[in-house]
């Protein structure tokens, strides 16, 4: 199974998690892609996308996710054959906007027909959990769930 870790980041945390996931997943090679450079035309319906996205400001998309989001919104491709899983980063101290950056991407992907698989993963910057450890466990769980269905 082709797995792509697609990240959107402001300060580099989502990128670090994507790279750590790629380094830890031994069942398949994980391709790491930056949303700031990734073209929606390159979305492969045969791949599983692990979307890792932080939040910025008052729950907005991080600057690294905005270009992908804007292109996706402008092109509005039919994504009914696309599978993705979502991992959001945020700080629960900001209850009203916690992890909202990822939710913007999630809503748009769903609106375009993509199917979210697995549990919605989240990391709370106010907590004590290691973001990469949570991300790796989430990714392994999602990949195992998808592999069991295939």
Where residue 38 sits, what CATH number does that domain have? 3.40.50.360
- Consecutive H or E run containing 122: strand 121-124
Q: Please tell me whether the overall predicted TM-score, pTM, comes out greater than 0.75 for this model.
A: yes
State the residue for tokens 């750590």: 20
The total domain count for the chain is 1
CA distance 115 to 120: 12
Q: Where are the beta strands (DSSP E) in 15-54?
A: 30-34, 47-53
Give the residue with greater pLDDT, 18 vs 124: 18
Mean pLDDT of all residues in the chain?
89
Residue 90 has pLDDT above 90, yes or no: no
By residue range, what is the domain housing residue 86? 2-149
The three-state secondary structure class of 31 is strand
């Amino acid at each position: 199974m082709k797995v792509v870790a697609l990240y959107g980041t402001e300060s580099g945390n989502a990128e670090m998690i994507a790279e750590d996931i790629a380094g830890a997943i031994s069942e398949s090679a994980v391709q790491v892609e930056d949303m700031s450079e990734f073209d929606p035309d390159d979305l492969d319906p045969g791949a599983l996308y692990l979307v890792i996205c932080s939040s910025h400001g008052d729950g907005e998309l991080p600057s690294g996710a905005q270009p992908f989001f804007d292109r996706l919104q402008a092109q509005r491709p039919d994504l009914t054959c696309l599978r993705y899983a979502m991992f959001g980063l945020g700080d629960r101290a900001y209850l009203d906007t916690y992890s909202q950056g990822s939710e913007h991407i999630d809503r748009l992907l769903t609106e375009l027909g993509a199917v979210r698989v697995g549990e919605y993963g989240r990391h709370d910057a106010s907590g004590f959990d290691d973001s990469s450890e949570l991300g790796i466990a989430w990714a392994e769980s999602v990949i195992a769930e998808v592999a069991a269905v295939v």
